[in-house]
């Protein structure tokens, strides 16, 4: 049994480590398959959506919300960056660089997405405050239940893609609320029976592996389903690149300027990785569930952003000693949480 779980952990590590290459492979193989075969795989999307989101939700620990009072300023800043500043800045960038309203809408839905649970991994690797990070991620997911139907519906309406409010809520029940409830219940059941360390050691790699495999499969299906449209509109789609190149560094620079005098290095890293790191899988799932076949094309934009987000966060992580110096912090062993 231990060997099996060690194998799963190694697979999960490689799927995360080679995210850029695997994302590009999913994109190009999907376009090639869809363009030359014409086979439609859209029927796989809804099962993949649930299979991708449910395991991801098992990483959300509602017990982390007990730490809200002690991390209040960090959480407020991260949520404001995530749900106000990031969408506003994305709106400016897409207005400048992206002429296609469908691509703009996909990028805007990414901008209002909560942090990915992978952000907690980056916080741990950088020596950030994991208590604040875990509380922020949990609260951001809960906020998303209200942000997507309200702000997402408003963005869609202003982009001339009308979506009935009832349809938006109905889709979110399947994509966000139901997986969140099942994920939390699954986690709590395992933790109560076997303990949090057992869950993290044995089950967390399994759930993470399922999510990543389904994410790559989802990207393949989306790009294969819209292959000919993508090839036809390639110039507009490639305008995602300047948006990403401006979006990620600017948000990190803003947090550095805001936090240098008011937060420690550890708390600053929690803010960065829970606001700049967007949940690409969730944004893709919501776009597809809410907008149907048209949403498959909208989801091309956040899928392409994965090619830029992962390497940028890795590059920023490698600069952690310079960031420590910027905050006047010496390296410490920061306590980790489960």
CB-neighbour burial class of residue 140 (10 A; exposed 0-12, middle 13-18, buried 19+): buried
In the prediction, which pLDDT does 255 show? 93
Cα torsion at 74, 76, 82, 88 (round to 10°)? -130
| pLDDT at res. 250 | 95
- Are 168 and 152 in contact by the 8 Å Cβ rule? The answer is yes
How far is the C-alpha of 223 from the C-alpha of 32, rounded, in Å? 9
Domains in the chain, CATH or no CATH each: 7-324 (1.20.1530.20)
Predicted local confidence at residue 161, as pLDDT:
81
Q: What is the pLDDT of residue 125?
A: 75
Helix, strand, coil percent values for the chain (each to nearest 5): 85, 0, 15
> By CB neighbour count within 10 A (0-12 exposed, 13-18 middle, 19+ buried), where does 171 fall?
buried
pLDDT at residue 330, as a whole number: 55
Q: Is 335 left (phi over 0), alpha (psi -120 to 50) or beta?
A: beta
Q: What pLDDT was estimated at residue 333? A: 44
SS3 annotation, 15-51: HHHCHHHHHHHHHHHHHHHHHHHCCCCHHHHHHHHHH
Provide the residue-wise pLDDT of the chain in tens; the chain has 338 residues.
555 557 778 888 888 778 788 888 998 999 999 989 988 887 888 888 888 888 888 887 767 666 667 688 888 999 999 999 999 999 999 999 998 999 999 999 999 999 876 777 788 778 888 888 888 888 888 888 889 888 888 888 888 787 777 777 787 888 888 888 898 899 989 998 988 888 888 888 888 889 889 889 988 998 898 888 888 888 888 889 999 999 999 999 999 999 888 888 889 999 999 999 898 888 988 998 888 888 888 999 998 898 888 888 888 888 888 888 888 765 544 444 44
């Amino acid at each position: 049994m231990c060997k099996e779980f060690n194998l799963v952990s190694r697979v999960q590590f490689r799927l995360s480590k080679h995210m850029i290459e695997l994302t590009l492979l999913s994109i190009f193989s999907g376009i090639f398959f869809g363009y030359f075969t014409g086979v439609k795989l859209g029927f796989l999307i809804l099962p993949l959506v649930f299979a991708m989101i449910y395991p991801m939700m098992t990483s959300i620990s509602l017990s982390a919300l007990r730490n809200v009072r002690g991390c209040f300023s960090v959480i407020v800043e991260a949520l404001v960056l995530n749900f106000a500043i990031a969408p506003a800045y994305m709106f400016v960038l897409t207005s400048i660089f992206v002429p296609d309203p469908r691509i703009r809408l996909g990028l805007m839905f990414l901008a209002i997405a909560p942090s990915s649970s992978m952000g907690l991994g980056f916080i741990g690797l950088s020596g950030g405050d994991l208590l604040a990070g875990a509380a922020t991620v949990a609260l951001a997911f809960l906020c998303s239940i209200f942000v997507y139907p309200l702000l997402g519906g408003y963005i869609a309406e202003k982009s001339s893609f009308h979506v009935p409010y009832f349809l938006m809520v109905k889709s979110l029940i399947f994509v966000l609320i139901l997986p969140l409830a099942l994920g939390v219940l699954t986690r709590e059941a395992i933790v109560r029976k076997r303990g949090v360390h057992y869950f993290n050691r044995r089950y967390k790699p399994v759930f993470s592996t399922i999510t990543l495999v389904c994410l790559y499969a989802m990207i393949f299906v989306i790009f294969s389903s819209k292959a000919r449209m993508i090839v036809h509109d390639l110039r507009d789609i490639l305008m995602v690149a300047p948006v990403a190149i401006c979006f990620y560094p600017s948000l990190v620079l803003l947090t550095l300027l805001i936090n240098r005098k008011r937060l420690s290095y550890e708390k600053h890293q929690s803010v960065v990785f829970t606001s700049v790191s967007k949940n690409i899988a969730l944004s893709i799932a919501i776009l597809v569930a809410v907008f149907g076949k048209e949403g498959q094309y909208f989801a091309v934009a956040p899928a392409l952003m994965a090619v830029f987000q992962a390497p940028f966060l890795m590059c920023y992580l490698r600069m952690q000693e310079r960031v420590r110096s910027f905050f006047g912090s010496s390296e410490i062993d920061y306590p980790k949480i489960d």
